[in-house]
């Protein structure tokens, strides 16, 4: 007998039939003798409908109030799932975020979980009840409803699993696991059986959509084993866990890609202390998160600076940068969203040399120019022209032979 | 400067335009220097939509879970109204029932308010904020979301007004006050300027839909002056308050009618102790509330018993009664929903004699047979054939000259 936390996303609870399907899956695991906690999202489309309502009133609605509105989506789902399980003869009990409570900070719309009080849930499990928890929401330090941001239900599930010291946290989604790359880009993409937290974290940061990045951070910090599975079939999924001996011995684990970035270039900037800090302080003040930054070394005291930012922030960033360029006497400021970021990720990189060389050679062989490079211990990212993205992914997937599992 | 609690029903907040209209009304009173608390219902149709969803899963959904689902309707409205007021430049803050909290018992679906904790609201009002409260909902003794039953937002508003010792509680609805009778039945119906709690309570019990009966009980118990007004115009409404010298000196205040009852008749029952108790105990066990009860006196030890019940309970009551009739050896049991209850209500009755005689004479003059009669200190009700209902209302409205206000 184990304690299992399952999470079902919006598509998996999109209508009453799908909710009944979820109830049957939960009941089956309960029948096998497990204690069950189920975390659910809002029915697909519901969160967007609620946001649209609020935005018709004000383009930037009061965040505290928007959270109160958005949280109703999950509140409806938990009630419907509990009614379904009760009607099937199971004792079930639903919890809103504030009821547990899942305590968060006051960052409405992107709140961070501070603590999950698990006593009430434990008492229900002891009494044989199936516990249903509203994902995506919590109780803010000020006593209001807060939401965790897009994909927040994954984080709710992992946080609840950590608080309960659950044996496993199963994330049910509309794909049946984590793949070596996006299967929409190459049919050679292969499902990964087991992956380390660190790798999954890099993949989430670099554009893989299957798991919310905060949920992986949380799972890693508390050592919660995460299973990624499909709610529409019984295929074996992917286990995200601590690095271990029995993981496949790949040099790299996966190739990711993203078109969500844009770049800004300053040319003809004086190469002296304080210049970069003026630019980056202004960006920080505007809440723009910088990713890669490149500054060429200069011989004549004049240099260029290029950095990447989220594509959505390009316009407002350009306005800020043009103001700064004038003050700095920079020659030009240009922006472009015609870029893509292609990355390779893998713990194996640490013990193999020549991984970067292999990546650059493979791209060069197809005539793909690399505009920017950034590396960490377990990933290498290249910024290239957007039109080459899919080609680059296929080339790298082939070069590192990801279509077949290593022994 | 006064402290005013306003309540807007589902029709008044039915879409974003109407919510904006409510916001303007609230803002106007705030601008006049008043402290404002606004209680709102779910957008028209939303509660029914949510109930339908739950009932598609189970004909009788788990009540605790159904309340969690239903309460989201008001939760969306409070957020939308707060966002609207914020966008207009006012400081506003919304509260769900559990946040205030409005403490109730555990009778999910028909919970009774035990206490309203007013500290948080008072602090907001002191800080100049407009406070918005979700009607219809509270926090149960067990810490769950509870709802108060249909029309519960009226009760929420009165309870909040009582807890805050508000100067007035204004109930905005889709009619502009309380009328001497249903204006759909006679165009002579006249809006009442001022009415006593006791009269309004009888009217609500006897079929007048304008105010929820519990809200009137609450207002009477705590002496909250209730104004009934339309949210679609600025007409003066009706004040429901303590009986006072300046109320119009009518013998009766209003005529009400209802077709929501049915009657059951036992014939040929032995007239001995314990017979009635067997019938009425069985009805109580089935949660059927009896209204009028008539037992004829008997000469030969055999009698008839007739009683009225809610029309919705007729079928299940007949099944129960037939079982009892067999045990009692009663001759027949018959049921009928071809009845209507017509009532006259007024504090003036206490000091005028001949009111009942005048009522019965007026009905007799039109050939309307009275099947059952029940009276209290301030009302007389007659059960008649359903087809005579409108005629009876018009006859009584004329007989007591309700179309003109007394001096």
Q: Specify the pLDDT at position B122.
A: 98
Q: How far is CA B333 from CA A191, A223, A313, B330, in A?
A: 72, 71, 78, 8
Neighbouring CB atoms inside 10 A of B332's CB total 12
Query: What residues are paired with B341 via a beta bridge?
Result: B258, B383
Give first-to-last CA distance, chain B, whole Å.
32
Distance CA A159, CA A214 (A): 10
**Domain parsing of chain B, residue ranges:** 3-174
Taking the C-alpha atoms of residue B218 and residue B157, their distance in angstroms, rounded to an integer, is: 10
In angstroms, rounded to a whole number, what is the distance separating the alpha carbons of residues B144 and B107?
Answer: 11
Give, as one character, the DSSP assignment of residue A405. -
Distance between CA atoms of residues B141 and B98, nearest Å: 11
Helix (H) or strand (E) holding A391: helix A389-399
pTM > 0.80: yes or no: yes
Contacting residues of A for B117, CB less than 8 Å apart: none
Cβ–Cβ contact B277 with A under 8 A:
no
pLDDT tens column, A145-176: 999 998 899 999 999 999 999 999 999 988 89
Flag if A53 and B16 touch (Cβ within 8 Å).
yes
Confidence at residue A128, expressed as pLDDT on a 0 to 100 scale: 97
Longest dimension (CA), chain B: 79
Closest partner residue to B83 among A62, A86, A98, by Cβ?
Answer: A62
pLDDT number for residue A406: 62
Structure confidence by residue, pLDDT tens digits, A8-67? 999 999 999 999 999 999 999 999 999 999 999 999 999 999 999 999 999 999 999 999
Q: Which regions of chain A are under pLDDT 70?
A: 299, 406-407
What is the least distance, in Å, from the CA of A212 to any CA of chain B?
Answer: 26
Write down the pLDDT at residue A124.
98
Q: Between B58, B80, B144, which is nearest A53 by CB?
A: B80
Question: Cβ of B69 and A84 within 8 Å?
Answer: no
Shortest alpha-carbon distance between residue B156 and chain A (Å) = 19
Residue B80 to residue A99, Cβ atoms within 8 A: no
Which of A 107-166 lie inside 8 A of B, CB atoms?
143-145
Q: How far is A147 from chain B (nearest CA, A)?
A: 14
Q: Show residues of chain B in contact with A72, CB under 8 Å.
A: 72, 75-76
> In Å, how far are A210, A219, A236 from A227, measured between CA atoms?
11, 11, 9
CB neighbourhood size of A232 (10 A): 15
DSSP A50-77: HHHHHHHH-SS--HHHHHHHHTHHHHHH
Q: Could you give the ipTM of this predicted complex? A: 0.84
User: What would the pLDDT profile of A34-48 be if each residue is shown by its tens digit?
Assistant: 999 999 999 999 999
B84: nearest CB among A57, A98, A144: A57
First to last CA, chain A: 32
B96 reaches A (C-beta below 8 A): yes
Strands (E) located in A247-298: 254-258, 261-270, 293-295
CA gap B325, B336 in Å, rounded:
17
**What CA–CA distance (Å, rounded) separates A249 from A404?**
11
User: Is the domain A3-174 a CATH 3.40.50.300 member?
Assistant: no
Q: Is A94 on the interface with B (CB under 8 A)?
A: yes
> Mind telling me how many Å the CA of A94 is from chain B's nearest CA?
7
What pLDDT shows up at residue B406? 61
Q: Which residue is closest to A70 within chain B, CA to CA? A: B76
Contacts of A99 in chain B (CB under 8 A): 143-144
Closest chain B C-alpha to A79 CA, distance in angstroms:
5
| Closest among B7, B381, B70, B26 to B212, alpha carbons compared | B7
Query: What are the 10-residue block averages of pLDDT along chain B, 407 residues in total?
Result: 95 96 97 98 96 96 96 98 98 98 96 96 98 98 95 95 96 92 95 95 90 92 95 91 83 94 92 84 89 80 90 93 90 94 93 90 95 91 96 96 79
């Amino acid at each position: 007998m184990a304690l299992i936390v399952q999470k079902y996303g919006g598509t998996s609870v999109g209508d009453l039939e799908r909710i009944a399907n979820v109830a049957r899956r939960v009941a089956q695991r309960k029948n096998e003798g497990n204690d069950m906690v189920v975390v659910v999202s809002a029915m697909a489309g519901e969160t967007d409908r609620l946001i649209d309502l609020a935005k018709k009133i004000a383009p930037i609605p009061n965040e505290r109030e928007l959270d109160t509105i958005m949280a109703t989506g999950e509140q409806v789902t938990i009630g419907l799932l509990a009614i379904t399980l009760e009607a099937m003869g199971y004792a079930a009990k639903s919890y809103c975020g504030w009821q547990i409570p899942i305590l968060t900070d006051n960052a409405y719309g992107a709140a961070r979980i501070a603590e999950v009080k698990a006593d009430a849930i434990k008492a229900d499990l002891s009494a044989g009840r199936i516990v249903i928890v509203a994902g995506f929401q919590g109780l803010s330090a000020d006593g209001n409803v807060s939401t965790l941001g897009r994909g927040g239900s994954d984080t709710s599930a992992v946080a609840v699993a950590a608080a309960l010291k659950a044996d496993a946290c199963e994330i049910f989604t509309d794909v049946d696991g984590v793949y070596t790359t996006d299967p929409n880009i190459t049919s050679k993409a292969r499902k990964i059986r087991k992956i380390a937290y660190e790798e999954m974290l890099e993949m989430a940061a670099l554009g893989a959509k299957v798991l919310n990045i905060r949920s992986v951070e949380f799972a890693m910090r508390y050592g919660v084993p995460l299973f990624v599975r499909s709610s529409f079939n019984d295929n074996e999924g992917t286990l995200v866990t601590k690095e271990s001996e029995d993981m496949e011995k790949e040099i790299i684990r996966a190739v990711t890609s993203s078109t969500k970035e844009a770049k800004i270039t300053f040319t003809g900037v004086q190469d002296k202390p304080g210049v970069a800090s003026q630019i980056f302080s202004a960006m920080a003040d505007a809440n723009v998160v910088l990713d890669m930054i490149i500054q060429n070394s200069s011989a004549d005291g004049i240099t260029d600076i290029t950095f990447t930012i989220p594509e959505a922030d390009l316009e407002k960033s350009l306005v800020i940068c043009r103001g700064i360029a004038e003050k700095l006497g920079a020659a030009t400021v240009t922006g472009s969203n015609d870029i893509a970021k292609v990355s390779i990720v893998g713990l194996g990189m640490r013990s193999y040399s020549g991984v970067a060389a292999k990546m650059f050679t493979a791209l060069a062989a197809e005539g793909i120019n690399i505009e920017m490079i950034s590396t960490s211990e377990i990933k290498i990212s290249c910024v290239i022209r957007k039109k080459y993205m899919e080609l680059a992914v296929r080339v790298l997937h082939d070069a590192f032979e990801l279509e077949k599992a290593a022994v």
